[in-house]
Structure 1
């Protein structure tokens, strides 16, 4: 058992200027593959060393293999899968400009377009105001659609992710590390022209992505399944569904997660759930208490979740009087991606202690609400991680 509160984060970390430049050159064919991967390995080495130097216990490769071309990028956690799944056809449809209004009916949940989400509907003027701080106008992002059977074609890429991280952790002496991968339900959030049912799409994504999860686990790392769809998809269903219908929709996704993780040791997996990374009002977020029982049906070794944002900071209460399986870990977000203010270490410690009081300190690993890369300025992101470590030290001194 650990003798202190360990620390980690959700995955995405700020990309270095050198890596962003190399990503853009590679897209233009202006750099050789050998030169590119030399820069990529150097960048991963740098980001792992920085985590180790800060005192982060469970590190990763910053998701540097999930390609971004700019400092602000909300979609790399999802977009990376477009080159790793077969059965997709790219379209010229801009994800952010799509105004399609898809309407769900009782017993038939369908996701509407991003611009038609209920929070955006309620705060339309704010979302479209470039001076509001939540402006969603940004560079066009093309969306693929399902046009054939979904297969996994990313073996070389995931093996590269694992090799980059292995080289770095071996170099800097950190044995505990993870790699984030898209969950089946998140992968399934595309237009479909091939499958007959939602359940078929989700299961096909699970069958394909199981190859990615296995490759990560076989390399000796923990697999983090990024599944924001389990919470934030609620806002993308218009009109608001019944809770029963949504829970049934979630169960399909949790069953797919369990199917995809078969054969992987439970302790080598963790599930990340959040309500989305955009800096908006979030008034239509579903309460954690309405989904927690379904989420906990996932056969994973722990759950990472948003717990510091203004809409979800009070939800530590869902863990009151809840018995956790032996060795099951909670990764509460005690640092928020939702604000530029850097949390005081004492506040971080108080948040950690609150969770430790509910489930026991042996079950708590201090983390972030979501990925910090692509959402916050580099200086702020690293300052927040420093505060995370300092807060964990304060909490450890009081809990152990």
Structure 2
């Protein structure tokens, strides 16, 4: 019996650490020692291996592990002109930083749409495939504060909305089981602007895109929130979820993937979720912490699910990992084997909890 068969679906969030062969191929391509075809072959082998291992663990839904993405946020920009490297800086608690590029001219057009990754994954999968896409709110940070001559911000937002819709719609049309908007900048927005103004701008922009989809399509779209996870650190874990979740749950999506395993007060968070959960939306609660080197046991996962079920109806509950395990391709802080061990614990622990909840 699987968790999904008794009403508790479980899904990966996205990224899996890349195998050493792929990391070596990426470095070799950057140095000009191999060509695009050799890199693509290495990426395909990594995707095939990722899906095979997820299916062997019994994952009812799989992803490609983002093996071919440079990062979860910058994939649409690969190869674009009109970008400068000195964009918004994202500081992490341990002192390291990530920096986004800055748009220098318009119009904005995605160089890569996520259905490319989905179609490649479907060639290897025998179970449903989920696809992660970047939320438009994250890419709104590309536009510089002092503007761009001849390309006003409103024109940029119009273009971004159209491109984000096409990114999601392409995945739905290609048969994605679900499409997940990575909205990790949501919690960061409250750190950058405690008044909530920036978060409200992000919510409005994301809903501008989501409202272009039918109710049936929205049911296949989810939103992921977490405090960022990169090189065993976070950018906004110190921000109280109480300021974020009521606004987040106003998004027009059918699923919400919420980091919870690493939260210091999970019951408080679950209470907020229960109070604000809209309509028939489902909450996938994080039950494994990618940053913690210790591998959770199935019993620990089971107990986390049962704790969530004390607040949320079992038929509106699912489980996931807190975050991706390697959202940036160069993040090797978690090993590939550790990631799959945690995923195994999530799948087995969710099934244990599901059996208890159905008596």
TM-score where L is the length of structure 2: 0.85
2:227–2:236 CA contact under 8 A, matched in 1: no
Matched, 1:77 2:29: no
Once the two structures are TM-superposed, the CA of residue 183 in structure 1 deviates from its matched residue by 0.6
The aligned counterpart of 1:369 is 322
Contact 1:331 1:364 in 2 (8 A): yes
Partner residue of 1:227? 183
After superposition, residues 169-188 of structure 1 pair within 5 angstroms as 169=125, 173-174=126-127, 176-188=128-140
Deviations 1:149-186 (A, max 9, x none): 2123325xx343122111011xxx21x22111111001
Choose from 210, 218, 243 the match for 1:266: 218
For residues 36-57 of structure 1, the C-alpha deviation after alignment (integer angstroms, 9 at most, x for no partner) is: 3332222211100100111222
Asked if 1:387 is matched to 2:339, the reply is no
In 2, Cα distance between the equivalents of 1:159 and 1:312? 37
Q: Is the 8 A contact 2:76 2:110 kept in 1?
A: no
| CA deviation after TM superposition for structure 1 residue 316, in Å | 1.3
Say whether residues 1:89 and 2:58 are aligned partners.
no
Q: 1:224, CA displacement in angstroms?
A: 0.9
Separation in 1, partners of 2:228, 2:166: 26
Q: Which residue of 1 aligns with 2:251?
A: 298
Residue deviations 1:285-331 (CA, integer Å, cap 9, x gap) = 432232323222222120111111144634112133555423x2211
Distance change (3 Å), C-alpha of 1:203 and 1:350: farther
* Contact 1:254-1:295 within 8 A present in 2 as well: no
- Identify the range of structure 1 (6-15 vs 275-284) with the bigger mean alpha-carbon deviation: 275-284
CA contact (8 A) 1:63 1:179 kept: no
Residue 49 of structure 2: SS of its match in structure 1? helix
Give unpaired runs (5+ residues) of structure 1.
Answer: 68-75, 96-111, 121-126, 128-133
Q: CA deviation at 1:61?
A: 0.4
Partners of 1:357 and 1:290 lie apart in 2 by 22
Count of residue pairs the alignment pairs up = 343
Deviation, 1:59, is 0.8
8 Å CA contact 1:232, 1:285 repeated in 2: no
Query: How many angstroms does 1:190 deviate by?
Result: 2.2
Q: For 1:1-400, list aligned pairs within 5 A.
A: 2-67=5-70, 76-83=71-78, 89-93=82-86, 113-115=89-91, 134-136=94-96, 143-155=101-113, 158-169=114-125, 173-174=126-127, 176-192=128-144, 193-194=147-148, 195-197=151-153, 201-221=156-176, 222-237=178-193, 241-243=194-196, 245-246=197-198, 248-259=200-211, 261=213, 265-278=217-230, 279-280=232-233, 285-311=238-264, 313-314=266-267, 315-322=269-276, 324-326=278-280, 328-373=281-326, 374=331, 375-400=333-358
Q: Is the 8 A contact 1:58 1:177 kept in 2?
A: yes
After superposition, the Cα gap between the structure-2 partners of 1:92 and 1:363, relative to the gap in structure 1 and judged at 3 Å, is closer
Q: Give 3-state SS (helix, strand or coil) of 1:330's partner.
A: strand
Q: Hey, what's the Cα distance between the residues in 2 that align with 1:26 and 1:285?
A: 38
Question: What is the RMSD computed on CA atoms of the aligned residues?
Answer: 2.8
Task: Tell me: CA distance 1:387–1:312, structure 2 relative to 1, closer, same or farther (3 Å).
Answer: same
What are the Cα deviations for residues 9-45 of structure 1, in whole angstroms up to 9, with x where unaligned? 2100011112112222233343343333332222211
Q: 1:270 to 1:251 in 2, by over 3 A?
A: closer
Higher mean alpha-carbon deviation, 329-338 vs 303-312, is at 303-312
**Rounded Cα–Cα distance in structure 2 between residues aligned with 1:282 and 1:152:** 26
Greater shift, 251-260 or 294-303, is seen at 251-260
Would you say the 8 A contact 1:232–1:274 is kept in 2? no
Cα separation, 2, equivalents of 1:284 and 1:341: 19
Runs of 5+ unmatched residues, structure 2: none
Contact 2:76 2:111 (C-alpha < 8 Å) held by counterparts:
no
